[in-house]
Amino acid sequence: MATGTDSEALVKDLESLRAEKQRLEERIIELYTLYRVSKTLSLSIQLDEVFSHSMKLIGDSLGFDRYGVFLVDEEKQGLALHVSHGLPSEESAGVRFHMGEGVPGRVALLGKTEIIGDLSAAPDCVFSPQRKISAGSTLCVPLKISSDTVVGVVGVHRNTVDGFPPKEVILFGSIAEHVAVAFENARLFQKAKVLSYKDPLTNLYNRRYFFERLDKEIERACRYSRMLSVLMVDVDNFKTYNDSNGHLQGDEALRKISRLFVMNLRTHDVVARFGGEEFIILLPETGPENATTAAEKLRSRVEEEKFDGEASMPLGKLTITVGTASFPKDAKDALQVVVSADGNLLKGKAAGRNRVNG
């Protein structure tokens, strides 16, 4: 028969087991949360995916009332709010903090997690320098890719005072580490992708990117019954210029011509180096007449520009010849429109160069 002492011991053991069970359940939840975060973010190679997945994981796992991800700019002068939840659009649009300004700016500058348990007693701003949240509590965690490199800040808010228990702060810090790694991986992937599409000499797009965009624009033109045009450009007698002035001066001339093209076209036009001294340009939403106008503008701008050593050229100037073609007027697919523009370029060169032919 159990004595009172035995009963008390059993009760204590039972309470201890229940407490241990609760700790194990909490730990399982934490580990599962981190597993989900790690698995989900490891599959994200686009920055937009990292942001959207991060927001969903933060909301689903910890149930914050408001939260946002800030990123430090390249000059490390400040940080901008890139994505948020629970904030009115007019409050989140274009939000920026200087380094050291407000809670996010201070966390970015010092690289240390900061908790404000009662915002009513704190003067600092959390999500916007222009508007202070005066109730509840906030937690801001730095996104670090190394021990001393902060790439961003995650800020979260709860409407309750002292809304962040220590265990949750630790868990959120671990989540932030995964977000930082995913962000850096996506950033490096994006940078490598951009470089793979760029011509190293002129910093224009390369042929690979051009044809990918051309295929997409052809599909869009077909879907919405629109037109597009392609310009094929050749620098006239460029071998003569190179032989007279040297390849370094020739490279500088190609860079200068590239800048002229970009400056005198629309932002959504695609300028690419086709190879050597040839360029190819995609003009979306552009028919034959406007394509000829754009091509003539480029031709005249190059003719007017001063290039070192151009007096040695046959025409006394460094000039270009442009062949134009339009879809669907001159061709029925992407390859045909390029071939048509190239054919018109050859005709323009045969006719004397320094002209537009379409």
Catalytic residues, which ones?
Answer: 277
Residue 51 identity (one-letter amino acid): F
CB 183 within 8 A of CB 144: no
CA distance 191 to 180: 16
Structure-block tokens of residue 197: 């599409």
Structure-block tokens of residue 289: 């007449």
- Bin 64: left if φ > 0, else alpha if -120 < ψ < 50, else beta: beta
Peptide bond preceding 328: is omega within 30 degrees of 0, i.e. cis?
A: yes
Residue 322: strand pairing partners: 233, 356
Identify the CA nearest to 342 among candidates 208, 233, 269, 266.
233
CB 232 within 8 A of CB 342: yes
